[in-house]
Amino acid sequence: MSVRFQSTGASKYGLPEETGASFDRDAEEQGQGLFMKQLALINDILVPNGVCLHRIDLRFQRPELQTRVAAFDGKGSQLLDAIAKEYALPYQALQGLTISSKQDFAVKGNDDADPKLGPFGRTKDGGCLATAGVGFGTFPKVDAVRNSNHPDMYRQPYRRIHSNASADGVTTNEFLTMFAGSCTFYAKLGKKPPFQGIFKGVLGQEGAADKDATPDGFVKLDLNCDASTGWRVVYRGEVPHGLRMKEGMKFAWQVIGPQEWKPTFLSSDPWTDYSLYGKLPDADTDVNALPEAGRAPLQDVPEE
């Protein structure tokens, strides 16, 4: 299991161009903590820019769940409900993840929550747990990427970097949980998410000041799962992001907030020249039909 972090255009701000973390079960169980230290370093870069990466410990999965995950082959599977129950998170868990990722829910409820209870006292925030993205379909999605059940996946509909918002400008909260396989997640730096903070207690002690967002640049995360580790990426839809799915990826993807939202696409990113792959989609375009017939899939272009 590993994560590989790459950045471009951000080295002038002190960010590493490449780093990573690889989980070694023996080393971690001996208390060396090397993986967690490296993951903390990566999150030290990501969190001020609206993305947080969480490791999922799969070492202690029930044997029957391991069997179900291995057999899970996508939307039409009879195992879908069982897998969704395990990996699609309830409201309280999503709320905890946003807080631990230093992000607020984009949709605020109208309840008069007691401020003494802190953010966990706000039980009406978050918006809709089932949403629809124009061109992206409905969420949550629980799926396994196979060539047999996704013959159109070569088009990589989520790869072009985009941000999400409703017609009246309300963004989303997104939770990508990957429990098998691999993928690549892309993000543009520079968008610090709003965060009211965690309740500090009656004395009001304040911790270290939060870092500012990196002014410019892009990052990509190559994420790989194994029997010991899965990944969860937590981010807000206002952060420009993209996702390359890979054969064998198994995931639960939750997008909450406004009931309907639409993506707004960047015209390019450092790894891919979008003009090579058909016209840029807009809110009225079904991105599953892209790229145009005869075009190659959205592949990263090696840097010269």
Residue 208, pLDDT score: 58
Q: Is the pLDDT of residue 293 over 90?
A: no
More confident residue, 216 or 121: 216
Is the Cα torsion angle 224, 51, 178, 92 positive or negative in sign? positive
Higher pLDDT, 297 or 128: 128
Which amino acid, one-letter code, is at 230? G
Token digits of residue 156: 């990589």
Res. 300 pLDDT band, cuts 50 70 90: confident
Q: Return the SS3 of 117.
A: helix
User: 254 and 230 in contact (C-beta within 8 Å)?
Assistant: no
Q: Say yes or no to pLDDT of 120 above 70.
A: no
**Average pLDDT score over residue span 105-120:** 72
Domain locations in the chain?
Answer: 2-193+210-289
Residues 111 and 122 sit within 8 Å (Cβ to Cβ)? yes
Give me the pLDDT at residue 280, please: 59
Instruction: Look at residue 1 and tell me whether its pLDDT is greater than 60.
Output: no
Which of 292 and 82 is assigned the larger pLDDT? 82
**Distance between the two ends of the chain, CA-based, in angstroms?**
28
Q: Starting from the edge strand earliest in sequence, which strands make up the sheet with 173-180, in order?
A: 51-57, 229-236, 173-180, 250-256, 141-144
pLDDT at 178 over 60: yes
What confidence score (pLDDT) does residue 25 get?
A: 67
The CB-based long-range contact list for 165-170 (8 Å cut-off, 24+ gap) reads 165/237, 165/238, 165/258, 165/261, 165/262, 165/264, 166/257, 166/258, 166/259, 166/260, 166/261, 166/262, 167/260, 167/262, 168/258, 170/106, 170/107, 170/127, 170/257, 170/258, 170/261
**Which amino acid, 120?**
F
State the pLDDT at residue 109.
Answer: 77
Which is more confident, 122 or 202?
122
Enter the tokens of residue 218.
Answer: 């892009």
Q: Rounded distance, CA 71 to CA 64, Å? A: 11
pLDDT exceeds 70 at position 220 = yes
Whether 19 contacts 5, CB under 8 Å: yes
Q: Please give the residue that has the higher pLDDT: either 30 or 124.
A: 124
Q: What percent of the chain has pLDDT over 90?
A: 49
Q: Token pair 């903590």 is at which residue?
A: 33
Mean pLDDT for 181-189 is: 95
Average pLDDT value for residue range 8-33: 76
Residue 293 corresponds to which amino acid?
Answer: A
Is residue 294 predicted with pLDDT exceeding 50?
Answer: no
Q: What is the pLDDT of residues 122-142, one digit of tens each?
A: 677 889 999 999 989 999 999
Tokens standing for residue 125: 């925030």
Checking if the pLDDT of 146 tops 90, the result is: no
Which of 190-199, 202-211, 226-235 shows the highest mean pLDDT?
226-235
The superfamily (CATH) of domain 2-193+210-289 is Jelly Rolls (2.60.120.10)
Q: Is 175 exposed, middle or buried (0-12, 13-18, 19+ CB in 10 A)?
A: buried
| pTM summary value | 0.87
Which residues lie below 8 Å from residue 60, measured CB to CB, with a gap of 6+? Answer: none
